[in-house]
Amino acid sequence: MALFGTAAACAIGYIYWQTNVLLNRQLEQTIEAEVQGLAEQYRAGGISNLARTVANRSLSVGNSIYLVTDSDGDRITGNLASISRDLWDSVGRVEFVYDRPGQNGPESRLALVNIFRLKGGFRLIVGRDIEDRRVFERVVQSAFFLGLGFMALVGLGGGWLVSRSLLLRIDAVTATSRTIMEGDLSGRVPVVGSGDELDRLSENLNAMLDRIEQLMAGMREVSDNIAHDLKTPLNRLRNSAEAALREHGGAKSYRAALELTIEEADDLIKTFNGLLSIARLEAGTASGAMEEIDVAVLIRDVVELYEPAAEDMGLSLTAQADGYVRIIADRQLIGQALANLIDNAIKYGGAGAGGKIKVTAIDTDVAVEITVADLGSGIPNKDRERVLNRFVRLEESRSRPGSGLGLSLVAAVARLHGGEVRLDDNKPGLKAVLSLPHKSNHNSGAGTQ
Amino acid sequence: MAIQAVPPYPRMTPQTHIHAGQFVQEVHVSALHSVPMRILLIEDDVETAAFLVKALKEAGHVSHHACDGETGLALAESGAHDVLVVDRMLPKRDGLSVIAKLRADGVQTPVLILSALGEVDDRVKGLRAGGDDYLTKPYAFSELLARIEALARRSAPEEATTKYTVGDLELDRLTHKVNRGGQPILLQPREFRLLEYLMKHADQVVTRTMLLENVWDYHFDPQTNVIDVHISRLRAKIDKDFEAPLLHTVRGVGYSIRVERA
């Protein structure tokens, strides 16, 4: 602000000074020319010639001032009445105030004159009326100071206003972050809508807060589910151990109780491992084993692993893929996801003997799609989103084994690979599609040889 | 327990197992495990270690215990153990660094890594550091024991064994032919590999997860009893028409291929 003020003052001061210099030079040149002309007349015809010329020139209206006096100081000719006695002896350039008739009587005006002493005591006084210039100078001067003052006022005031609004907005960010630190995640930084840097910062902060809140909600949901789905079996486990102790059933019943306890503990461990896997997949940390795999080989492998189990249930399980279906992926994770889908199809897609489960892999150029289709009862449309969540089991009785984590793990594997899992109607049955997009840096042409 | 204290104890190829049937029976009347081993546990949790030492002793093995990485490393450097069981997170020196140091020093004792970290990339890191097998906590003791015994077998010189024999069952690794009592048995490729793995670890228990890992190369929990169904199919081919079954189910643990003795 001070810098701006100084610069402005310098600029205006310079303009003022330059104007002054220019005007002065003009004035001097005019007077000089006048003096030159009169000097010629004087050289040519002496004082009488000079007096005549001065008399002539005095007739024209203008700002020129002429006066020729005799040695006593009495006026011979000219448009100036007289000059004061104080100036009488001075020679050269002199400024003084004189009276001139104006519209409303005589007015005092400033004059700048040259006084020459001629032979025989005559005096020639040539000059210009500079009252106008003085007025102009005053106007410029007052404009300069007024401008400077105005600028300082506007600059300081404006600066204060701008910085105050900026500080207020930063204060708003601080206040929001404080409420968030205190545990209220719903707070958001206000966005004024001007689209400036601070607004963009606020928008980014808000987006970040949205993401954090979403993650926190996810965490809360998971911990609620853990509380329910781990505490219940833990309680059961504890109860059965307690019951065995209380009943004094002898070695045999103790043994049975212990075996049951271990079984339940194993189930708990499985659930726990499943949850941890999903959590790690969702955190995106488990991506160290990406390699090019042939999905055609993979589906044949996994189908071969499950085929005898399916056959035992009276189901036929077949794999179908032509040639190579290559993609960059984690073989273990895709294998597990596919295993979970097939496992589901065997458990729920049975519909008695003669059921068919088809596993196919195709490359659509954009993505590799692994489809597991069964002829079972399928999943109602309204449940298809929900069933991908943790611990959701559509069977109310929960009589069949399973933790309710299978499809959530498939969904998490798909997300880790940038893909998705879709549950469609196979008419009848369920068609689960695991879609894995080719990475943009991976030439999709290489996947379809 | 005739040979338990004689280091180095005789290491046997599968063939010698069968022909030394007398000997096997003598060493282990009740337990299945044929070879006593010296095991070094490097585990910081004292209770876990005490439980393992006791359980391994019941299984016929001798074990030492070190509470931290530095002590464990010093003990392991002697090379006097058949298998090292190393926890990943240890005071003073972490498990992976212990293993890396041992391998750098030329100690080739097989290592089983125990860890609470169970994701695929954790496993990869563990094996890359020089571990031979990886088991995630919490585990069943039977699983740990089966893996320890499998590792000890792995460290025995394989001397280019091209044939595995258990009783009258023969498997030729080169020609991929299997016969029992002179009768050829036709196996699917996967069944062949399953039998090959079981016979490589004849007289030992192999767990379902070991089979899934080594025969199918998958490291996840298959939820359903997929492995059991494969085993029963294999059993139908190799045992059904014969009097003495060779492929046995070890309840709650896994499977074992061996000649049953009265």
Note the pLDDT tens digit of each residue in A209-244: 888 887 888 778 777 777 777 777 788 888 888 888
Q: What is the mean pLDDT of chain B?
A: 77
Contact B120 A330 (CB under 8 A): yes
Two tokens at A210?
């949205």
Interchain contact A293–B (C-beta under 8 A): no
List of residues 6+ apart from B58 with CB closer than 8 A: none
Average pLDDT over residues A2-17: 77
| A39 vs A33: CA distance, rounded Å | 10
Q: Give the model's pLDDT for residue A386.
A: 67
Interface confidence (ipTM) of the complex: 0.73
Per the structure block, which two tokens stand in for A152? 């300082």
DSSP state, A386?
A: G
Q: Is A308 on the interface with B (CB under 8 A)?
A: yes
Query: For residue range A333-391, what is the model confidence (pLDDT) as tens digits?
Result: 888 888 888 888 888 776 565 678 888 888 888 888 888 888 777 677 777 676 776 66
- Cα atoms in the Cβ-side hemisphere of radius 13 Å centred on B172: 11
Which of A269, A308, A330 is the closest to B233 by Cβ?
A: A308
Q: Residue A440: what pLDDT? A: 54
The pLDDT value recorded for residue A449 is 33
Select from B121, B140, B225 the Cβ nearest to the Cβ of A309: B225
Kindly state the tokens that stand for B183.
Answer: 């009768």
pTM of the model: 0.62
- B251 chain-A contacts, CB cut-off 8 A: none
Q: Do A305 and B226 touch (CB under 8 A)?
A: yes
Q: What value does the mean pLDDT of chain A take?
A: 79
Q: Which pair of structure tokens corresponds to residue A307?
A: 């085929």
CB burial of residue A269 (10 Å; 0-12, 13-18, 19+): middle
Contact A401 B136 (CB under 8 A): no
Query: For A273-315, what is each residue's pLDDT tens digit?
Result: 787 778 777 776 555 677 888 888 888 888 888 888 888 888 8
Name the residue of chain A whose CA is nearest to B228's CA.
A309
Distance to chain B for A204, nearest Cα, Å: 33
Chain B interface disruption, residue of A273, A282, A293, A400, most B CBs within 10 A:
A273
Sheet-wide strand order for B111-115? B62-66, B38-42, B83-87, B111-115, B133-136
- Residues A121 and A70 sit within 8 Å (Cβ to Cβ): yes
- For residue A337, the chain B residues in CB contact (below 8 A) are none
Closest CA to A374 of A354, A359, A387, A357: A357
Q: How far apart are CA A148 and CA B180, in angstroms?
A: 113
- Whether A273 sits inside 8 A of B124 (CB atoms) is no
Give the pLDDT band (50/70/90) at residue B216.
confident
With a cut of 80, say whether residue B121 has pLDDT above it: no
Query: Does A349 reach chain B within 8 Å, measured CB to CB?
Result: no
CB–CB contact B118 A273 (8 Å): yes
Does the beta-carbon distance from A402 to B223 stay under 8 Å?
A: yes
Dihedral angle over CA of B53, B58, B59, B62, nearest 10: 50
Confidence band (pLDDT; 50, 70, 90) for A443? very low
Strand A355-363 and strand A367-373: the pairing is antiparallel
**A409 contacts in chain B (CB < 8 Å):** none
Model pLDDT, residue A390: 65
